[in-house]
């Protein structure tokens, strides 16, 4: 089998030289997988990535994640491993921990969770007993499955009480949350969401938690990069524990992170990550996390985070100008929820996602608050700007993106219009290379 190079696929090379070598090396042994890797590189380079939870990492982060560090078992923590040969891994994990603490301005960091949900498992195990009550926003209102969805560990082993959004404003209603907390007396309250476009008042959440003697957990998976750079207020010193993924606005490798300012809580979380819920840490990913945290500590990353939000506001304004309704009326962060019903009553998130993908715009359908349609259909789209901003798009290009979104959805995925938009986007992408 021959491997189509990205150039042969009609786009500028989306890969740095090392990645091209990698595809060639894999191809010499396994052309079937190498071909798919090359095709995926082309897909990423020639489409507009608007999934709010995705990003494009730098080559340094990417290659650390694909390095020989994957060969090592390092169960335990720096200085206390169950295997020999860990001296360099100890240093790498220490660097990752130190940089994470500096980035989020807190005292303790565990960089081993394989993903955000695993960080949350460790926190639940550290702070709660099975059957304890947790108060959280359900997934249908913008929460996360690991915050209490029934089939998830959280909904299986814990009693979940829910708060919602104000039905009119679609904003968090802190007075209502306080009332519900007083009624259900949770042992832990969770804030931090997957589809909430506004600023979270962590101080108010802590006051509510203190009022009922609950722990406050902030899951900042979506906004971590904005928090690290001061573009969104920090959950510290308010939250007892903070969890996050490292691959969204933070632009690191796919992974999780748990943070705290409390030595006792941090020690419990360490034990619940390992040996409580995980075995060997992914040391290649921890190295990539260390590199990404180093990048995020640089002033350029603050400029990047500000641009992410500026781009989101520009995209929101351009969509509103084209008669789309945005939940809450707009955005303060990197994402927005588009209620498609105002543009066209029969337009669904599922149809829009499919049509837009054909045009080279990658989005995810998303339920909007009180969505009458089921989760696999939905009346909304969630759009985010972290990945496009990593490619160098700015406000003027956001107006162009809104125009393409509207042409595809307005034509109801008409084949000819979709093909025209696809060609325009492929040509446009050539001017905004992947991070290299």
Closest Cα partner for 52 from 308, 335, 255? 335
Measured at the CA of 305, the angle between CA 299 and CA 306, to 5 degrees, comes to 95
d(CA 294, CA 152): 33
Tokens of 95: 């660097």
Residues 232-251: x where in contact with ligand DSN by CB under 6 A, - otherwise, as a string: --------------------
Catalytic site residue from 73, 98, 162, 174? 73
Binding to ligand DSN in span 1-40, by CB under 6 A: none
d(CA 50, CA 334): 10
148 secondary structure, DSSP code: T
Catalytic site residue from 75, 132, 201, 406? 75
Catalytic site residue from 58, 243, 245, 389? 245
Binding to ligand DSN in span 283-302, by CB under 6 A: none
Give Cα 247 to chain centroid, integer Å: 6
Is 75 a residue of the active site?
yes
Is 417 a residue of the active site?
no
| Unique residue bearing structure tokens 């019903």 | 341
Give the shortest CB-333-to-ligand DSN separation in angstroms: 13
What is the Cβ-side half-sphere exposure of residue 356, based on CA atoms within 13 angstroms? 28
Measured from the CB atom, is 288 or 335 closer to ligand DSN? 335
| Unique residue bearing structure tokens 């994470």 | 100
Measured from the CB atom, is 3 or 52 closer to ligand DSN? 52
Give the shortest CB-134-to-ligand DSN separation in angstroms: 17
Catalytic site residue from 219, 261, 270, 371? 219
Binding to ligand DSN in span 42-71, by CB under 6 A: 53
Helix ranges (H only) for 263-394 are 263-271, 283-296, 299-321, 349-359, 386-390
Is 254 a residue of the active site?
yes
How many residues sit in the footprint of ligand DSN (CB under 6 A)? Answer: 4
Give the shortest CB-326-to-ligand DSN separation in angstroms: 18
Tokens of 92: 């790498």
d(CA 232, CA 226): 5
Binding to ligand DSN in span 61-120, by CB under 6 A: 116
Measured from the CB atom, is 46 or 194 closer to ligand DSN? 194
Measured from the CB atom, is 51 or 320 closer to ligand DSN? 51
Q: Is 385 in the site for ligand DSN (CB under 6 A)?
A: no
Residues 339-378: x where in contact with ligand DSN by CB under 6 A, - otherwise, as a string: ----------------------------------------
CB 337 within 8 A of CB 368: yes
Catalytic site residue from 206, 254, 272, 391? 254
Run of H or E including 337: strand 335-339
Burial of 105 from C-beta contacts in 10 A (0-12 / 13-18 / 19+): middle
Measured from the CB atom, is 11 or 277 closer to ligand DSN? 277
Facing residues of 338 across strands? 326, 381
Measured from the CB atom, is 194 or 249 closer to ligand DSN? 194
Is 170 a residue of the active site?
no
Residue nearest to ligand DSN (CB): 53
Residues 143-172: x where in contact with ligand DSN by CB under 6 A, - otherwise, as a string: -x----------------------------
Tokens of 363: 């989005």
Give the shortest CB-21-to-ligand DSN separation in angstroms: 31
Measured from the CB atom, is 244 or 418 closer to ligand DSN? 244
| Unique residue bearing structure tokens 């573009």 | 231
Instruction: Show Cβ contacts of residue 292 under 8 Å, excluding neighbours closer than 6 positions.
Output: 57, 58, 61, 246, 250, 251, 252, 253
Give the shortest CB-195-to-ligand DSN separation in angstroms: 7
355 secondary structure, DSSP code: H
Measured from the CB atom, is 320 or 362 closer to ligand DSN? 362
Among 194, 246, 277, 305, contact with ligand DSN (rule: CB under 6 A): 194
Give the shortest CB-52-to-ligand DSN separation in angstroms: 7
Give the shortest CB-373-to-ligand DSN separation in angstroms: 19
Give the shortest CB-116-to-ligand DSN separation in angstroms: 6
Bond preceding residue 290 cis, omega within 30 of 0? no
Is 73 a residue of the active site?
yes
CA distances to 145, 242, 366, 384 from 117, rounded to whole Å, are 8, 12, 20, 21
Q: How many other β-carbons are positioned within 10 Å of the β-carbon of residue 341?
A: 18
Catalytic residues: 73, 75, 219, 245, 248, 254
Task: Kindly list the residues in this chain that would bind ligand DSN in the complex (CB under 6 A).
Answer: 53, 116, 144, 194
């Amino acid at each position: 089998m021959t491997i189509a190079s990205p150039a042969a696929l009609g786009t500028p090379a989306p890969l740095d030289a090392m990645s091209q070598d990698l595809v060639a090396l894999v191809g010499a042994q396994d052309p079937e997988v190498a071909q798919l890797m090359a095709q995926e590189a082309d897909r990423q380079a020639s489409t507009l990535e608007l999934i709010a939870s995705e990003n494009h990492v730098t080559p340094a982060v990417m290659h650390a994640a694909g390095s020989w560090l994957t060969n090592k078992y390092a169960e335990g923590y720096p200085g206390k491993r169950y295997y020999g040969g860990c001296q360099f891994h100890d240093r790498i994990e220490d660097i990752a921990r130190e940089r994470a603490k500096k980035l989020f301005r807190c005292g303790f960091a565990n960089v081993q969770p394989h993903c955000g949900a695993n960080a949350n498992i460790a926190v639940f195990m550290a702070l709660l007993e099975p059957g304890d009550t947790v108060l959280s926003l359900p997934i249908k209102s913008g929460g996360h499955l690991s915050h209490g969805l029934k089939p998830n560990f959280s909904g299986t082993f814990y009693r979940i009480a829910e708060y919602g959004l104000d039905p009119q404003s679609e904003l968090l209603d802190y007075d209502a949350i306080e009332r519900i907390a007083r009624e259900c007396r949770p042992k832990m309250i969770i804030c931090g969401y997957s589809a909430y476009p506004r600023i979270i008042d962590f101080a108010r959440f802590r006051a509510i938690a203190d009022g009922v003697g609950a722990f406050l957990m902030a899951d900042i998976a979506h906004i971590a990069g904005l928090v690290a750079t001061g573009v969104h207020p920090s959950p510290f010193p308010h939250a007892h524990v903070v969890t996050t993924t490292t691959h969204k606005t933070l632009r690191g490798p796919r992974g999780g992170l748990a943070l705290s300012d409390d030595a006792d809580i941090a020690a419990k979380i360490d034990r619940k990550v390992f040996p409580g819920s995980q075995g060997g840490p992914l040391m290649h990913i921890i190295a990539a996390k260390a590199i990404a945290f180093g990048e995020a500590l640089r002033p350029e990353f603050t400029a990047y985070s500000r641009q992410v939000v500026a781009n989101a506001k520009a995209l929101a304004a351009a969509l509103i100008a084209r008669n789309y309704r945005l939940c809450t009326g707009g955005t303060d962060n990197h994402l927005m929820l588009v209620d498609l019903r105002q543009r066209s009553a029969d337009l669904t998130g599922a149809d829009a996602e499919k049509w837009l993908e054909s045009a080279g715009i990658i989005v995810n359908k998303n339920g909007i608050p009180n969505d009458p349609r089921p989760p696999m259909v939905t009346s909304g789209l969630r759009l985010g700007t972290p990945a496009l901003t990593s490619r160098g798009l700015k406000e003027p290009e956001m107006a162009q993106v809104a125009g393409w979104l509207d042409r595809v959805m307005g034509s109801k995925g008409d084949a000819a219009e979709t093909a025209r938009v696809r060609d325009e986007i492929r040509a446009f992408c050539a001017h905004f290379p992947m991070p290299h």
